[in-house]
């Protein structure tokens, strides 16, 4: 016998709609401006997750590289410190070398002067002139009068009066070559370079101080510039010891740097002044210059 109520309940249960699975929740970022405009960024959680992953990977890579190259960085730092120490030692040794060369030149000049004094003290007088001075004078004087020759000057006086009145001129011992002037616009520097040559006696070192005077077309000393920086008195440096020190056996490249003024092209001449260690002027020579820009 059929059970209608039960069959009806089964049929109703079979025909009831199935419950749908809940939809996945999506996150969006909504931005609203002051004017009421909106900007929506969909899938915000996914974008944020990807960004976090990328940042984490970058941090991990940075930490890994730092760990791998930490020793190399430390070694480079130690090498830089060592190079700085060596450079300071080189500057100190160079200064000591220049001082020793200057002392050597001064000592050699003193020894040379002492030897000259000793040679002059040991030089014997002429015995014939000492024994027969009157006879020689009596014999030569009539002969000179007979032939119309001038009388010889007495001992101790120069034979050429013009030579006695002329000031002695010291022969040049240094020379300047390859003078150049350049303006470094990137660094704002004016650089003067030249070659200082030793043209004195061979195997004799020369030490002293060097200056450069930059001049304009006119003779207004107020517009002149002294390198190294200092004051001028009658066109000469007031303090010679402020000049750039040099000690040369054959030649040396000299370089002077100064802050370039906007009107650097006004300098048309350069005068090179070279002094020895005692402050005596060895060379004063003027050159026309054309400042090259770089």
pLDDT tens digits, one per residue of 179-233: 999 988 888 889 999 999 988 776 688 899 999 999 988 888 888 999 998 888 8
Return d(Cα 266, Cα 290) in angstroms, integer: 10
CB atoms within 10 A of CB 101: 19
Tell me which of 111 and 124 has the higher pLDDT: 111
In CATH terms, is domain 174-293 a member of 3.40.50? Answer: no
- Quote the pLDDT of residue 15: 65
Question: Does the pLDDT at position 294 exceed 80?
Answer: no
Q: In the chain, what are the domain boundaries? A: 26-121, 174-293
- Average of pLDDT values for 54-79? 88
* pTM of the complete model: 0.44
62: exposed, middle or buried (Cβ count in 10 Å: 0-12, 13-18, 19+): exposed
Return d(Cα 210, Cα 174) in angstroms, integer: 11
- Quote the pLDDT of residue 256: 93
Question: Does the pLDDT at position 245 exceed 50?
Answer: yes
Return d(Cα 40, Cα 31) in angstroms, integer: 6
């Amino acid at each position: 016998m059929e059970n209608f109520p039960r069959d009806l309940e089964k049929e109703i249960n079979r025909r009831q709609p199935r419950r749908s699975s809940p939809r996945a929740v999506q996150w969006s970022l909504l931005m609203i401006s002051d004017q009421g405009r909106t900007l929506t960024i969909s899938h915000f959680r996914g974008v944020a997750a990807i960004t976090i992953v990328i940042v984490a990977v970058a941090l991990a890579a940075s930490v890994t590289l730092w760990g791998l190259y930490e020793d190399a960085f430390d070694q480079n730092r130690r090498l830089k410190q060592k190079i700085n120490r060596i450079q300071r030692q080189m500057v100190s040794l160079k200064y000591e070398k220049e001082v020793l060369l200057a002392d050597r030149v001064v000592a050699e000049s003193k020894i040379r002067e002492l030897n000259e004094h000793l040679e002059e003290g040991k030089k014997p007088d002429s015995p014939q002139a000492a024994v027969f001075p009157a006879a020689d004078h009596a014999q030569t004087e009539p002969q000179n009068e007979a032939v119309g020759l001038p009388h010889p000057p007495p001992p101790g006086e120069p034979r050429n009066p013009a030579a006695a009145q002329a000031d002695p001129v010291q022969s040049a011992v240094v020379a300047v070559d390859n003078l150049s002037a350049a303006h470094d616009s990137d660094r704002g520097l004016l650089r003067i370079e030249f070659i200082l040559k030793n043209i004195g006696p061979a195997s004799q070192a020369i030490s002293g101080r060097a200056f450069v005077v930059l001049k304009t077309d006119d003779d207004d000393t107020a517009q002149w510039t002294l390198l190294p920086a200092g004051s001028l008195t009658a066109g000469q440096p007031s303090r010679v010891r402020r000049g750039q020190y040099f000690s040369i056996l054959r030649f040396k490249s000299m370089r002077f740097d100064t802050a370039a003024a906007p009107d650097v092209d006004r300098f048309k001449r350069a005068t090179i002044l070279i002094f020895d260690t005692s402050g005596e002027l060895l060379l004063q020579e003027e050159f026309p210059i054309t400042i090259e820009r770089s």
